[in-house]
Structure formats: C-alpha cells, structure tokens
Chain A
C-alpha cells in the first residue's frame, strides 16, 4: 500500500470510530432514559415495574423533557471542557516547560530545528508554527498542540534535538505537521470533551448517592437513579476511553503516512523510530502531566493499556515492508551507534568550544579603554556600561559549551578551584577521591581556560549552564552539591563567589525536587533583622571602607523598610548570617520582594560602580527569592 491509500484507510477508520463514539454516547443517554422512565412509571403505579416504553407512550412530553435534560447535561459538560482545552499550542508547550526557539537563534542545532520546521511548513502548506524545546527531556519525542494550524505549536525534546540527524528530525517534524494539517488536535479536544460529559454524569450520580435523603418517600427510587447514573457514566467512560485510544492510533497511522508524503523519504522516520526502540529511555517523558498531550505525541509518552500509539514494530514495518521484527534489537543498536557521529558527549568538542568563550570575553575587555581605566583602581570592578558589553558578549559562546550535563558539571567544579597552589592541590586530591578518571580529565582540560575567564563573567557563565545541570539525575545533583561544598571548605574560608555558587546550586537544583511554594506571606517588618543582614552584606561587598558601606546601606534599606530602618552595623560572619537569613526572606510576600530588590539595586548603584561581588550577590539573591532581575538590571548584569 502506498502512502495515499494508507491515509485514506486511516481516515475511513477514524470516521467509523467517531460514529461508534457517538453511538456509545447515545446508548448511555438511552439507558439513562430507560432507568428514569421505569422509575417514574413505578412511582405512578405504586408498584415496581420495568416498563419504560409504557411511560414514554403515555407521557410523551415528560419523556421528551427528561431526554433533553440528560443530553443537555452531557452536551454542556463537553462544551465546557472543550472550551477549557481550546488554548493555543504555545500555552500547552509552555505549561510542560517548553522554551521557545526564535528565528534568529545562533545555536546550530536550534537553527537546524527551525529550518526543518520551515521546510515542513512549506511541504504541508500551513503557516510556520511556534517552536518549543523541552530542555530537560533526554528521551526522543515531539508533539504538536493547538486548536488550529494558525495557533499551533510544535515541541521537541532535547533528546530528539541531540540524537536525531537532519533526515530523522525531518521525519519526526513531518509527522507532527500531519497532526496540525489533519485537525487531529481539534478532534482530540472534541473527544476529550465528550468523555468529560460522561464523567459528569457519573459525578452527578455520586453526589446524589452521598447527599440523598434516606428513608423518605421515593428515597429508594432516587438512590436507584443515582446508582444508574454512576454505573452508566463509568461504563460509558470506559468504552469512550477505548474508542478514543483507537481513534488516536488511527491518527498516528495517518500521521506516519503523511510524514512520508511530506518528506517523500520513509527512511528518516524509520530510523527515528529505530532509535527510540534502541534507547533505554525511549520516548518516555519525565514530566508526569504529559497526559494532556499524549494523543499528539510522536511516540507514546506513557506506557499503559489504553495505548494511544500503534506498536513501534508495526509502524516500522509499514514504512519498510522488508523489516523483520527479530532484527529490531540489532538495528536499534546500529541506529544508536550513529550518535557518535553526531558528536554526542564528545570531550573534544567541549575543549574546542570553551576557547571560543574565553576569547570572546577576553576581547571585549581588552578592546574597551574605559574598562582598562576602571581596572586601575580595582581589578574586579567594571563600569556599568561595560558590564552591558560583557553581557552581550557572553551568552552565545556559552550556550555552545554547555550542551551536555557532564561537561557542565566539570565546568562548575573547575570554577571552584582555588588560585592558591596548596589549596588547589588539596582540592584536586578530594576530586580524585570522588570522581571517575574521565571526569577528572575533563576538569584538567577546562582548568587553564577557566583561569582566564574574567571574574565578572564567572557567575553569568554558571547561570548559562544551569539548564544542562538540571538534566542530571537527582542523585547526581545531590552528589554535585556535596562535592562543591567540599571544595569550598578546602581553604576554611568562604568568599562571595563561593557563597553564591553554593547557594545557587542548592536552590536551583533542588527546589524542583521539593516543590515548595515560590512566595510566602511575610511582610518586610517581620524580617527586618534578616533584611539588615542582606543589605549590610551587599553594601560591604561594594565598598572599600566603613563610611562608604554605610552610605550604600542607607541608600537601599529605606526602600525595603521605609518606616523603621535598622541602623548600619559591620558584619564579619556574613556567610553564616546571610545563609540563615535567606530562607526566611524567601517567604516574603511578592510585593515586599519587589521593594527589597529595588532597595538592593539602589545600594549597588550608590557609587556608580558595579563590583563583581555586588553583581554576584544580587544575581544570587534574585534567583533565591524567585524574582526576575529588575527591569533596570538585566542590561547591567
């Protein structure tokens, strides 16, 4: 069968299944009618009678009204659910943690993705949809969401981006475009609406069962009616689920066939499926709430009985009739071997990319005479305009070096190595004890390059690689935090950078594990002691003497605590005190946080200079308070 006839076949099957779905709905409505009529009849005859037709023939009008009410309940409920699900594709993609890919991205992989999507838009004749990437998903998967082609969004996982070559990615994207073109999203929303209608029937029955008046006249009849609602609702729901899954499988067959139509290349799609078969994590998504998009995914995201996708083997065989399921393990292993050709986890690439970062950053400092002037006074202080230039210089080069979690981990640890020889040796011994030789080698490679990284760029560089770190499994993340603490303790003192790094690691890598609320309800006066610690620390970090620090402190604290600002006092043990203060500050109400951060900016800007320590502290505090950097600042830091 060629792809045109496969498409026709899948469309025909879908039509029958949808008719079946409608019939199932009608059957549920009829059965409800039958129960209700029987009860009404027996109430009239004062004897238990099962004669729904007798009742309907004698009270046509009442029967008609009852039927209408039943249908209205199901109909309104499905309408409600459909409207709720009707959000644009971008909303769905973002709710699953998707990051938007822009047209002018400079990352080669993202650029390739964007190009492939544009190609498929041309091949299938629909507008180019929004594109998202799930950066934390290492499995190979993709989905299309949205109600119409105009508001559709195509999302792929980082795993698909990393592991598929151009042709394979094209096959996967073409598959998703079929869902867009054939209106599968709309169909699915419709089916989910109907299922919800049946669920509401069952829920009404359950509610009546719980609150029904017992022992009164007609009490028994009401209970029987409620029970009928529950049973029929759930039976209908079960049948509906099975039909919905069957529809979904047909749409997948249609999408596979359409992908061949769009690309005229069954090979790419076939190889992508083989890779999924060969990969341990396959197509499984980490995010649990993927159910909402299960029907639009490229390959099943959840393993369960009500499969939304045909089995992989069957899909591969359709694309390549000569395929023998027994050879699947071997072919899958071969497909994965190709990853090596795609430079995955290649240490050489890491070392090739990092020099780019350093040279770009180094250039922008040397080229700016203002920076040279500023460096005369204090080596790690820069003018605010120059910080702007630094920021522009950084992200692009770093994104390249921070592709894989392992490389990102090596970079974090390298940044913590001390410049002082004895301390450094002690740190290296500790690393050697707890790391694999390969990781140690990666650190040795990064070391000379990290040493050249200007201090001002260390923390921004770190924040760039956090998305990659988040892809580490939870136990590795905890091990990394512990190891970092170990390195920090090696010289028995904590500097600002070390403090910030440890706090950021602990907060950003662990808060999604704990799922805490990002904000609390405390007001600024509840935490005035903690605010004092915070502002003093920041003021000291930017000032050279006590007098200057006091002025900077007073410039900012008034914004956070306008009524009763605590006086300035020097702090020697700030790492301890600030560490204790931050968890309480996190519980501030959102508006109070805004005032605090405005105050912090005033403190930092008091002397018109931005020291590295100031910038690092400010960034860290913002991240820990779950606040974005204030509008004035992203340009600066």
Chain B
C-alpha cells in the first residue's frame, strides 16, 4: 500500500515537472519571437539618422541615399503588416524580402562611404554604424535564439515521457524560422576600423 502511494506521488511530481518544463519552453520561444520584432523596428528607426549624416558628406550619391530610404520605408510597411498577423506566412515572406533589399542598399552605401574619409571619421557616424552593426547582430541573434528555443521546446514535446503530457494538453509543434534567401541573413559589412 505504502509502496503504491509513494509511486503515485513520484508519478504526479514527474507529471507536474514535465508540464512546467513544456510551458517554460513554450514561453521562451514566444518571447524570442517578440525580440526579433523589437530589433527590426529599432533598425529601421536608426536608418533615417544615418542617411541624414551621410547626406552632408556624400553630395553626389543622392541616388544611393534615396534607395536606402525607399527600401527602409517598404520594410517598415512590411513589418507593420507582418506584426499584425505573425501567423501569415506570406506577410512574413514579404517582410524578409524587403529587409533583404534594405540590407543590399545599406551595403552599397557603406561601400561608397569608403571614399569619404571625413564621413568615416565623423563621431556621430561612428556611433551610428556601431549601433547599426549591433542591431543587425541582435536581429540575427534573436532569430537564432528563437530557433534554439524552438528546438528545446520541440525536444521537450517529443521525448518520452513528457510527450504523453504534451499530447494530453495539446502542445503544438513549433516551426523554426526558415531563412530561404541566404542574403536575408547576411548583415551588411560595416567596417570602420
């Protein structure tokens, strides 16, 4: 009788533990997704400042600067649509396309800025490009953390015995972010020494 009771208590404890682990893992990957949003927004906010400073020095590169602004605006639009409904795969796809275009435009801007030593030495420009690099990194780290969190969650969901708990309470499998275009992940190379 006592053996049976002890066994029951152990089983209940294991059950609670498995359930809590699953919930923690699920919250972790949801939070990781929110981070991506935050960092993308921050990136788009930084770009107008960058263009404003570059304008003063790069008088002959008007077209490049306008391209950056245009790409930035369409990425902001894309983010708005995707954030309102993260489950919409097409919207997310569009956002990642716009973001990739922005990355390309920025890359050209930075390549051209090599020819303007004054611009490169500008304190504000140095601060801004550090901020941009950091934000790019944060976006990719947030994606990576999201995928890591998804993996941890899916592992917890699928291994025995917690898979029983997951089945009982309907824990759905999570999808890792698929980066279809490699350049979407590529941060523009910023080098200011």
Q: Enumerate chain A interface residues (CB-CB to B < 8 A).
A: 106, 108, 111-112, 115-116, 118-120, 122-125, 166, 170, 261-262, 264, 341-343, 352, 356
Cβ-defined contact, A115 with B193, below 8 A: no
Set of chain B residues within 8 Å of A120, measured between Cβ atoms: 141
- B137, CB-defined interface residue at 8 Å: yes
In the complex, the chain A residue whose C-beta lies closest to that of B152 is A125
Chain A's nearest CB lies how many Å from the CB of B147? Answer: 11
Q: Binary interface profile of B, 118-137, with partner A (CB < 8 Å = 1, else 0)?
A: 00010100110011011001
User: B149 within 8 Å of A by Cβ?
Assistant: yes
Evaluate contact between B134 and A115: CB separation under 8 angstroms.
yes
- Mask, B121-163, CB within 8 Å of A = 1, is 1010011001101100110011011001100000000000000
Q: Are B134 and A343 in contact (CB under 8 A)?
A: no
Beyond A341-B193, A356-B123, 17 additional contacts (C-beta under 8 Å) are A111-B130, A112-B130, A115-B133, A118-B134, A118-B138, A119-B137, A119-B138, A119-B141, A122-B142, A125-B32, A125-B145, A125-B149, A261-B148, A262-B141, A342-B193, A343-B193, A352-B121
Q: List 22 A-B contacts (CB under 8 A).
A: A106-B127, A108-B123, A108-B130, A112-B134, A115-B131, A115-B133, A115-B134, A115-B137, A118-B134, A119-B137, A119-B141, A120-B141, A122-B141, A123-B141, A123-B144, A125-B28, A125-B149, A166-B133, A264-B144, A343-B193, A352-B121, A356-B123
Chain B residues within 8 Å of A341, by CB: 193
Q: Which 6 A-B pairs have the closest CB atoms?
A: A115-B134, A123-B141, A119-B137, A122-B141, A122-B142, A119-B138
Q: CA separation between A115 and B133, bound complex, in Å?
A: 9
> How long is the Cα–Cα vector from A261 to B137 in the complex, in angstroms?
14
| Minimum CB–CB distance for B34 against chain A, Å | 11
By a CB distance below 8 angstroms, the chain A residues around B137 are 115, 119, 170
**Interface footprint category on B:** 20 to 34
Given contacts A111-B127, A125-B32, A343-B193, contact A119 B134 (CB under 8 A): yes
B:19-45 near A, CB below 8 Å: 28, 31-32, 35, 39
CA distance A123 to B121 in the complex (A): 31
Identity of the chain A residue whose Cβ is nearest the Cβ of B192 in the assembled complex: A108
CB-CB < 8 A to A124: which residues of B? 145
> For A125, what are the chain B residues with a Cβ–Cβ distance below 8 Å?
28, 31-32, 145, 149
Give the CA-CA distance A112 to B134 in the complex, in Å.
Answer: 8
Q: For the complex, what is the distance from the CA of A116 to the CA of B137, rounded to whole Å?
A: 9
B 83-126 binary contact with A (CB < 8 Å = 1; else 0): 00000000000000000000000000000000000000101001
Known: A123-B145, A342-B193. A108 touches B127 (CB 8 A): yes
Taking the closest CB of chain B, its distance from the CB of A526, in whole angstroms, is 52
Which B residues touch A119, using CB under 8 A? 134, 137-138, 141
Least distance between B43 CB and chain A CB atoms (Å): 13
Distance in angstroms between the alpha carbons of A120 and B35 in the assembled complex: 13
Collect the chain A residues with CB atoms within 8 Å of residue B130's CB: 108, 111-112, 115
CA distance A123 to B146 in the complex (A): 9
Q: Which residues of A are found within 8 Å of B123, using beta-carbon distances?
A: 108, 356
Question: Among A116, A123, A356, which residue has its beta carbon within 8 angstroms of that of B134?
Answer: A116
User: Nearest CB to that of A342 among chain B residues?
Assistant: B193
Q: How far is the CB of B139 from chain A (nearest CB, A)?
A: 9
A118 cross-chain contacts in B, Cβ below 8 A:
134, 138
Residues of B within 8 A of A342 (CB): 193
Q: Which residues of B contact A261 (CB under 8 A)?
A: 148
**Least distance between A343 CB and chain B CB atoms (Å):** 7
- The interface centre, meaning the residue of B126, B133, B141, B145 with most chain A CB atoms within 10 A of its CB, is B141
Whether A122 and B134, one on each chain, are in contact in the complex, defined by CB atoms closer than 8 angstroms, is no
Assembled-state Cα–Cα distance A115/B127 (Å): 11
Chain B nearest CB: distance from A306 CB in Å? 34
Q: Quick one: closest A residue to B38, CB to CB?
A: A122
Nearest-CB residue, chain A, relative to B136: A119
In the bound assembly, the distance between CA atoms of A343 and B120 in angstroms comes to: 14
Do the beta carbons of A122 and B145 come within 8 Å of each other? Answer: yes
Closest to A119 in B: B137
- Chain B residues within 8 Å of A123, by CB: 141-142, 144-145
Cα distance, A356 to B39, chains bound together (Å): 33
| Chain A residues near B145 (CB-CB < 8 A) | 122-125
> Closest approach, in angstroms, between the C-beta of A500 and any C-beta of chain B?
31
- By a CB distance below 8 angstroms, the chain A residues around B148 are 261
Please give, as numbers and ranges, the residues of chain A lying within 8 Å of B31 by CB-CB distance. 125
Cβ of A6 to closest chain B Cβ, rounded Å: 16
Known: A111-B130, A166-B133, A264-B144. A122 touches B193 (CB 8 A): no
Bound-state CA distance A111–B126 (Å) is: 11
Query: B35 touches which one: A111, A116, A122 (CB < 8 A)?
Result: A122
Min C-beta distance of A358 to chain B, whole Å: 15
Q: How far is the CB of B37 from chain A (nearest CB, A)?
A: 12
Most buried by B among A106, A111, A122, A342: A122
Nearest B residue (CB) for A174: B141
